[in-house]
Amino acid sequence: MNILITGGAGFIGSHVVRLFVTKYKDYKIVNLDKLTYAGNLANLKDIEDCPNYKFVKADICDYEAMCRVMREEQIDGVIHLAAESHVDRSIRDPFTFARTNVMGTLSLLQAAKVYWESLPGGYAGKRFYHISTDEVYGALELTHPKGIEPPFTTKASSGQHHLAYGDQFFLEDTKYQPHSPYSASKASSDHFVRAYHDTYGMPTIVTNCSNNYGPYQFPEKLIPLFINNICHKKPLPVYGKGENVRDWLYVEDHARAIDLIFHKGRIADTYNIGGFNEWKNIDIVKVLIKTVDRVLGRGEFEDLNLITYVTDRQGHDLRYAIDSTKLQKELGWEPSLQFEEGIEKTVRWYLDNQKWMDNVTSGDYQRYYEEMYAKR
């Protein structure tokens, strides 16, 4: 197969590219990325010379370029991750999010349609897999049984017990109710993908995943930003009271789910991906402080005083919680890492890869992308 992975120089995309390039030596993996501030080819240094890997620098909004890549690389399957992904940026600059996430996805869909419909076999054996987010479902309440302090033990529809901050979960048929410009743009792109199946018969799949963490995440997101700040004893800007809840999944577990669903998922279907792993932001921050301080040989919780409560994010969603029972039951996927293990690996990776961090946080890197960002 010839597979086009968009956004492969970003955080999740780089893990997906690495997994596919190393696991499927007989596939050609084409990584298409515009290299925005979030795209970094250093994320793929270890596999860039593999014979089954090719990088193409292009913008998904460039329809002609998308048609050319589909045709010239004879693409059989698309795994679409390219997007503007940071909620805070979407609040400052919603237009960029509509352009990339909505129009970019549409341009890619149309290019795939034109190419695949031109082939004698049409859509047979083809697949357009769109990576989306749990944020399209909106926000859940923090509810708990009377007299029991959250997080409390509850039962997912799989029958498994886990800790949660509420008794409601996002299911595949939960109504879309996006609140931020980011989630609104992702919701819109999800609708376009499903429309291409319903209207033209394109074999599409959509998955909605919870918050990812792990190596190579751009340090504007909570976990890498805070690890770096703790390391350098800089303030940790906790939005509001730190009471918001997120459901965290190790990025390689997401990549494994993408591999499984790309190959075995049902066409026109949707799968939720998550690890039943809910944490309040403030508790995550304390885990990060504890882990970084221990790994660096500092006193236990020496850096608690770095916590700085700041003005809340506008429209800040209170709680996300994914029910991934369908994926577990139908395709047998489950997360491989316990959170404690994943956080330990993640902290150690950032501390061991200070050069990577210094590069993406350096004045030069930031200035280059901020100027580019300001021009758009």
Answer with the entry of ligand DAU, ligand NAD, none that 81 interacts with (C-beta below 5 to 8 A by kind). Answer: ligand NAD
Give the CB-nearest residue to ligand NAD: 10
Q: Is 61 in the site for ligand NAD (CB under 6 A)?
A: yes
- Other Cβ atoms within 10 Å of 59 Cβ, number: 18
Q: Is 224 in the site for ligand NAD (CB under 6 A)?
A: no
Please, where are the H alpha helices in 63-161?
Answer: 63-72, 87-92, 94-97, 105-118
Geometric angle at alpha carbon 49, from 46 and 53, rounded to 5°: 100
For the chain, percent helix, then strand, then coil, each to nearest 5? 45, 20, 35
Identity of the residue, 47 or 337, whose beta carbon is nearer to ligand DAU in the bound complex = 337
Q: Is 229 in the site for ligand DAU (CB under 6 A)?
A: no
Q: Catalytic positions, please?
A: 134-135, 182
Could you tell me if 244 and 87 are in contact, meaning their C-beta atoms sit under 8 angstroms apart? no
Closest separation in Å from C-beta 302 to ligand DAU: 21
Give the CB-nearest residue to ligand DAU: 133
* CA-to-CA separations, 342 to 185, 215, 253, in angstroms, rounded: 30, 10, 10
Q: Is 105 in the site for ligand NAD (CB under 6 A)?
A: no
Binding string, residues 68-87; x marks residues near ligand DAU by CB under 6 A: -----------------xxx
Q: Is 281 in the site for ligand DAU (CB under 6 A)?
A: yes
Could you tell me if 6 and 78 are in contact, meaning their C-beta atoms sit under 8 angstroms apart? yes
Token pair recorded at residue 292 = 């970084």
Closest separation in Å from C-beta 133 to ligand NAD: 4
Q: Which of 111, 209, 230, 255 binds ligand NAD (CB under 6 A)?
A: 209
Could you tell me if 199 and 117 are in contact, meaning their C-beta atoms sit under 8 angstroms apart? no
Q: Is 290 in the site for ligand DAU (CB under 6 A)?
A: no
Closest separation in Å from C-beta 222 to ligand DAU: 4
Site for ligand DAU in 169-228 (CB under 6 A): 210-211, 221-222, 225
Could you tell me if 132 and 190 are in contact, meaning their C-beta atoms sit under 8 angstroms apart? yes
Could you tell me if 274 and 134 are in contact, meaning their C-beta atoms sit under 8 angstroms apart? yes
Q: State the residue for tokens 């997080």.
A: 151
Please, where are the H alpha helices in the chain?
Answer: 11-23, 63-72, 87-92, 94-97, 105-118, 181-200, 222-231, 251-264, 281-295, 325-331, 339-352, 354-361, 363-375
What CA–CA distance (Å, rounded) separates 273 from 134? Answer: 9
Among 352, 333, 319, residue whose Cα is nearest residue 262: 333
Site for ligand NAD in 280-319 (CB under 6 A): none
Closest separation in Å from C-beta 251 to ligand NAD: 8
Q: Is 34 in the site for ligand NAD (CB under 6 A)?
A: yes
Q: Is 166 in the site for ligand NAD (CB under 6 A)?
A: no
Q: Which of 31, 107, 189, 244 binds ligand DAU (CB under 6 A)?
A: 244
Q: Summarize as ranges the residues that interact with ligand DAU (CB under 6 A).
A: 85-87, 133-135, 210-211, 221-222, 225, 237-239, 244, 246, 281, 313, 320
Q: Summarize as ranges the residues that interact with ligand NAD (CB under 6 A).
A: 6-7, 9-13, 33-36, 38-39, 59-61, 81-85, 100, 104, 131, 133, 186, 209, 211-212, 218
